[in-house]
Structure 1
Amino acid sequence: MTVHNWGFTPGSADWTARLWAPEAQSVKLVCQQGLIDMQREPDGYWVLDTKAEAGMVYGFSVDGLEVPDPASRLQAGDVHGRSVAVDHGAFAWQCDWRGRDWAEAVIYEMHVGTFTPEGTFSSARVKLEMLAELGFTAIEIMPVGQFPGDRGWGYDGVLPFAPHPAYGTPDDLKRLVDHAHSLGLMVMLDVVMNHFGPDGAYLHATAPEFFDKDRHTPWGAAIDFSRQPVRDFWIECALMWIVDYRFDGLRLDAVHQITGPKAETFFAELAERTRAADPGRQIHLVVEDESNDPELREAFGYDATWNDDFHHAVHTALTGEDHSYYKSFAHDPIGDLALALERGHIEEGQPRPGRDTPRGKASGHLPTTGFVNSTQTHDQVGNRANGDRLLSLADPAGVAVAYALNLVAPYIPMVFMGEERGETAPFLFFADYEGQLAESVRTGRAQEFAEIASMGADVPDPLSPETFARSRIDWSDTDHARFWQNLTRDALDFRANHLVPMLKAGAEADGQVTVAGERALAASWTFGAGVLRIALNFGTVGAFCTPLGEPGFRLGDIERDAYALHARIDRS
């Protein structure tokens, strides 16, 4: 049984309240019976065993300051209000699910609030059959830990154990996961463990020791992972999502901001404890790591990392953009794409034009399944001033080739919601703060894109409900949407029936990629069961790139079209 060091949780008889507040002089449970004293333990936890039942509203009083439970499983209202006792064991699961092999993963990244017009767990559940029919095998839900207001991306959460109430109840989320499993879909959750949002994080007051006073992240105070109670807080959060909600795995946001003398200890504990939590079920761990460091995959068995290098090579090749972080990828995007197909990461510590300090370490020895590749993500779309999707920036034929390449290459593909329909509506940055904080966010967003504002263009107001509404998926049934759905279905059919069996068989050799003309590539990967060959033309009519023939996947014609892609398997 999981040991809960944080929160208010049911036991075999009584419920137990536990809160870490090492410097507090007095901690009380606030409930309908009034204020009940909690007992201090030597390690700084305050503990109380008491009679309770699910649905009871409660809080903590720490030296007279009433706060919600920092490990609240549900809030009675907003992030500043009281918490609600939840008995996760009461839910009646319908699907007996043991998970899927990571080599089978085709990920669909979803923001619940804009995925459907209703923006709820229940409405998202209705769309899952369509995703499964297209060939997706996993959905990855952007963070749902409660944040201030109704609208937001989720990366400013302050109650990471509590599903955001605008999306629905804990049981609504469990029903979504249960239904996904019945359709053969894994469900992963994006979690933020490197910082808290700026409004409602009462740990700053009740346990300032939770934070590293000597370090800040770009988003706020850094967290001190050298302390066991801090590591336990986040590991118990992960275990709750894995055990109580039956998520198939987690995507850890910006792990390069989780540093310090015990950071490796934390990553090791997290991997060990989450995978031991439900023996016999496959649990997957993915990270976002700007450092391009393979250590978490090598030393601790993390499945994969988001590979922005692949995205940047594709983006610069299609758009010609060379600003900001695209600068070092704009000198030779086709050559960089060849590197990404050969080795996974492009930047592996070598000097590169446009970058003062080398980035990354050698990663070509890792399996292709150790990289999650994408042509769009919430970050790469939403962090643009106007939330432009790739179809709004580049030749649609080129976008289609890049999209198909991602689906049939031997890396783990991820699609940002709407790509499978050729979505052109933006995905903008939006939030729901009030008062001075709202004005600070609004001003900061405008300053971030001051050059755009100086040209007379408006930077969308992130606090406006209209900005949020513009970011919703368009579910209209059009010829355009059907083209992209058919492309998705065909590419994923090729992947499932021809590529995945070779990925699961293992014995993979290094990829070999030849730049065949100015904007054309020929690539191959040798596996124990055969060879995957891909030929693509990325924008030059008549580029030399030998057609691969049948059977296989085909988009356009290599000999005639400026944009084309062929993929096939040669069996051993």
Structure 2
Amino acid sequence: MRWGPQRVAPDRWCFRLWAPGAESVSLLVEDRAPVAMPVVGDGWYAIEAPAGPGTRYRFALADGREVPDPASRAQSGGVHGWSVVTETARPAPMAWAGRPWEDTVIMEVHVGALGGFAGVEAELERLARIGVTAIELMPIAAFSGSRGWGYDGVLPFAPLEAYGTPGELVHLIDRAHALGLMVLLDVVYNHFGPDGNYLGLYAPRFFHSEIDTPWGGAVAVDEPAVADFFCENARMWIEHYGFDGLRLDAVHAIGNPGFLDTLAQRVRAALPPERHVHLVLENEANDAARLCAGLYDAQWNDDFHNTLHVLLTGERESYYADFAQETTERLARSLAEGFVYQGEPTRNGVGAPRGTPSAHLPPSAFVNFLQNHDQIGNRAFGERLTTLVAPEPLRAAMALLLLSPQIPLLFMGEESGSRTPFLFFTDFHDELAEAVREGRRREFSGFADFADEAARTAIPDPNAQATFIASQPRPGPDADAWEDFVRGLLSLRFEHVVPRLAGTVSLGARVVAAGAVEARWRLGDASILTIAINFGDGPASFVGAPGQPIFASGSPREPASITVWRQDP
């Protein structure tokens, strides 16, 4: 690895910085005089110096500005403070080899809202008892302040100080593995946050200034040193910390599928063949090609969520407008083929085409969810479905999520019927805090409920500590009933679906009535899985399947009902 400090002797480390735009670079080690770093080729500066774990250092530019190491493995004093020499490599290979992708039931969590790495670790036994097999951490890379969603990180190699130490993160992962749980990590490779990103000062080639994005110039992943930066970051989390996989945030904003393929190839080539490591994409482009070459396991399927959300809530504004017409047909297509949009124009036929054909992909190539951090937190008041939808249809939707052959994802608190919001929160100050606050309110100006300024000012301030505290999940009033319900569904999933998921193919889905769909799949052992779901206002006549259903909630012909059959070959 070229980025970040590397041990070269027991008490000596090599420090490197790619700074092709800098006139000079000096190494600053705390309590020592600065030392000029020689140029070693292609914009790289490097020097060996006495150091050990815990040594604090940073770099000085020709104009006197002092900057952290962009590949710092830990920080002291925040993203503007000192970088810390940290030994992240494991002393010995892990005995844990992971779990097959077909086993996966994901619980997405925000580390800060649960009390840091130690707080997440305290939840593991309970989640394992419910039937969760993987926890997914929202981004943990260092960002400005001590609270935030994590998608504005600026030091991708350094776990946020407020969450705990690198050693505590390793302990969390080891404890999860001991309980049979995988640990996945959300990583952001498409942009940096607005506070604490110094790369442009000394490495302007890190960005394409001529390609505009919402966060400034596009990240130049076609530059070899930049590609190395992110590939080495991915490898560090998996090889050194022991993560079982990564979810790559918003890769449509990278705009370079070749880089995505290279990253996956390099990660997988570095791992022993027996190790199960899973790579998942978030990609608004619905690019099925990225899921066909054996490099990426799956993609988050917003289409499934958006379609079901319209059926459950009746909401049709903003991006839900793309799912407001022929909604039942769209649910059927999502269950049968994955993506709803497979090249069709958005905005009811007048927008840009979106997506590529996906019917050839296995159901396990799609991560489905009823809620996640985006779909709750991007609401003005962060409401969960427990406050928007009646219990009966919500339970039917949960059964559909957990018994369908797609990979299910839950959001922290969903398993216990939490009614606490999950709001958008940050920890910025001064002008940046005001810009974020006003930007958040402006984001909802196109919604009818927030057409006037007075309504928009009621939206919680992202920078207020109270907003963060309100977002910490608490069990709902019927938490025990919800956990029993989810545990029972996951028990059925692992009895009837998971052992047969490899090799599953869709047999199609049909619209039975408004809001009612019947879907069928041939599982890997040739048994047939049939699901009849009715979110409509009236009865529906399903064909069903012979024999006793493995799960039923309500009459299969009535609203807010679901029936699931598995028929042996």
TM-score range, shorter chain: over 0.9
What is the match of residue 96 of structure 2?
A: 97
Counterparts of 1:59-98 in structure 2, within 5 Å, are: 59-63=58-62, 64-89=64-89, 96-98=95-97
How far residue 208 of structure 1 moved from its aligned partner, in angstroms, is 1.2
The partner residue of 2:264 within 253, 271, 278 is 271
List alignment gaps of at least 5 residues for structure 2: none
The partner residue of 1:193 within 189, 197, 210 is 189
Q: Which amino acid aligns with 1:214?
A: E
What is the match of residue 361 of structure 2?
A: 366
| Contact preservation (8 Å) 2:21, 2:201 | no
What is the match of residue 420 of structure 1?
A: 415
Alpha-carbon distance in structure 2 between the residues aligned to 1:96 and 1:551: 40
Identity percentage over the alignment?
46
SS of the equivalent of 2:562 reads strand
SS of the equivalent of 1:241 reads helix
SS of the equivalent of 1:312 reads helix
Stretch of structure 1 that moved more, 213-222 or 199-208: 213-222
SS of the equivalent of 1:41 reads strand
What is the match of residue 357 of structure 1?
A: 352
Q: Which amino acid aligns with 1:429?
A: F
Alpha-carbon distance in structure 1 between the residues aligned to 2:299 and 2:289: 11
How far residue 540 of structure 1 moved from its aligned partner, in angstroms, is 3.1
The partner residue of 2:21 within 23, 26, 45 is 23
The partner residue of 2:288 within 264, 285, 294 is 294
CA change 1:448–1:62 in 2 (3 A) is: same
Q: Which amino acid aligns with 1:474?
A: R
Q: Which amino acid aligns with 1:411?
A: Q
What is the match of residue 233 of structure 1?
A: 229
Write the deviation string for residues 342-379 of structure 1: whole angstroms up to 9, x where unpaired.
10000001246255222111011011111111111111
| Contact preservation (8 Å) 1:109, 1:141 | yes
The partner residue of 1:159 within 155, 160, 180 is 155
What is the match of residue 308 of structure 1?
A: 302
What is the match of residue 556 of structure 2?
A: 558
Alpha-carbon distance in structure 2 between the residues aligned to 1:356 and 1:78: 43
The partner residue of 2:7 within 6, 10, 15 is 10
How far residue 17 of structure 1 moved from its aligned partner, in angstroms, is 0.8
Alpha-carbon distance in structure 1 between the residues aligned to 2:481 and 2:349: 38
Stretch of structure 1 that moved more, 142-151 or 23-32: 23-32
The partner residue of 2:137 within 136, 141, 145 is 141
1:437 aligns to 2:436 (yes or no):
no
Alpha-carbon distance in structure 1 between the residues aligned to 2:22 and 2:179: 49
Write the deviation string for residues 533-554 of structure 1: whole angstroms up to 9, x where unpaired.
1111213343222565525122
Alpha-carbon distance in structure 1 between the residues aligned to 2:241 and 2:524: 37
SS of the equivalent of 1:366 reads coil
Alpha-carbon distance in structure 1 between the residues aligned to 2:401 and 2:78: 40
| Contact preservation (8 Å) 1:271, 1:300 | no
How far residue 9 of structure 1 moved from its aligned partner, in angstroms, is 2.3
The partner residue of 2:388 within 393, 418, 427 is 393
The partner residue of 2:404 within 378, 403, 409 is 409
Alpha-carbon distance in structure 2 between the residues aligned to 1:534 and 1:300: 29
What is the match of residue 490 of structure 2?
A: 492
Alpha-carbon distance in structure 2 between the residues aligned to 1:324 and 1:265: 31
Write the deviation string for residues 354-411 of structure 1: whole angstroms up to 9, x where unpaired.
5522211101101111111111111111011111112222222112111210111011
CA change 1:556–1:455 in 2 (3 A) is: farther
| Contact preservation (8 Å) 1:105, 1:413 | yes
| Contact preservation (8 Å) 2:186, 2:246 | yes
Alpha-carbon distance in structure 1 between the residues aligned to 2:551 and 2:330: 24
How far residue 12 of structure 1 moved from its aligned partner, in angstroms, is 4.6
The partner residue of 1:220 within 207, 210, 216 is 216
Alpha-carbon distance in structure 2 between the residues aligned to 1:466 and 1:339: 41
How far residue 19 of structure 1 moved from its aligned partner, in angstroms, is 0.6
Alpha-carbon distance in structure 1 between the residues aligned to 2:101 and 2:240: 21
Alpha-carbon distance in structure 1 between the residues aligned to 2:544 and 2:296: 37
| Contact preservation (8 Å) 2:280, 2:298 | yes
What is the match of residue 461 of structure 1?
A: 461
CA change 1:536–1:264 in 2 (3 A) is: closer
Write the deviation string for residues 262-306 of structure 1: whole angstroms up to 9, x where unpaired.
x33422221122123231211110010000111211245211111
Alpha-carbon distance in structure 2 between the residues aligned to 1:169 and 1:203: 25
List alignment gaps of at least 5 residues for structure 1: none
Write the deviation string for residues 215-248 of structure 1: whole angstroms up to 9, x where unpaired.
1222333101110000000111111101111000
What is the match of residue 530 of structure 2?
A: 533
1:56 aligns to 2:55 (yes or no):
yes
SS of the equivalent of 2:506 reads coil
SS of the equivalent of 2:501 reads helix
Alpha-carbon distance in structure 1 between the residues aligned to 2:218 and 2:201: 15
SS of the equivalent of 1:523 reads strand
The partner residue of 2:275 within 276, 281, 285 is 281
What is the TM-score when the length of structure 2 is the normalising length? 0.95
1:375 aligns to 2:370 (yes or no):
yes
Q: Which amino acid aligns with 1:7?
A: G
Stretch of structure 1 that moved more, 415-424 or 188-197: 415-424
What is the match of residue 323 of structure 1?
A: 317
SS of the equivalent of 1:511 reads strand
How far residue 11 of structure 1 moved from its aligned partner, in angstroms, is 3.0
Q: Which amino acid aligns with 2:143?
A: F
SS of the equivalent of 2:41 reads coil
How far residue 213 of structure 1 moved from its aligned partner, in angstroms, is 0.8
Alpha-carbon distance in structure 1 between the residues aligned to 2:166 and 2:453: 46
1:245 aligns to 2:241 (yes or no):
yes
Alpha-carbon distance in structure 2 between the residues aligned to 1:187 and 1:41: 38
| Contact preservation (8 Å) 2:501, 2:524 | no
How far residue 484 of structure 1 moved from its aligned partner, in angstroms, is 1.4
Q: Which amino acid aligns with 1:99?
A: G
Alpha-carbon distance in structure 2 between the residues aligned to 1:484 and 1:465: 29
Alpha-carbon distance in structure 2 between the residues aligned to 1:394 and 1:220: 39
How far residue 204 of structure 1 moved from its aligned partner, in angstroms, is 1.3
What is the match of residue 519 of structure 1?
A: 515
What is the TM-score when the length of structure 1 is the normalising length? 0.94
1:40 aligns to 2:42 (yes or no):
no
How far residue 338 of structure 1 moved from its aligned partner, in angstroms, is 0.3
| Contact preservation (8 Å) 1:310, 1:374 | yes
1:481 aligns to 2:479 (yes or no):
yes
CA change 1:359–1:238 in 2 (3 A) is: same
| Contact preservation (8 Å) 1:268, 1:300 | no
| Contact preservation (8 Å) 1:387, 1:428 | yes
Alpha-carbon distance in structure 2 between the residues aligned to 1:556 and 1:173: 44
| Contact preservation (8 Å) 1:267, 1:300 | no
| Contact preservation (8 Å) 1:309, 1:347 | yes
Counterparts of 1:167-186 in structure 2, within 5 Å, are: 167-186=163-182
| Contact preservation (8 Å) 1:431, 1:462 | yes
| Contact preservation (8 Å) 2:286, 2:342 | yes
Alpha-carbon distance in structure 1 between the residues aligned to 2:173 and 2:379: 31
Provide the aligned length of Structure 1 versus Structure 2: 557
CA change 1:473–1:91 in 2 (3 A) is: farther
RMSD (Å), alpha carbons: 1.7
The partner residue of 2:342 within 330, 341, 348 is 348
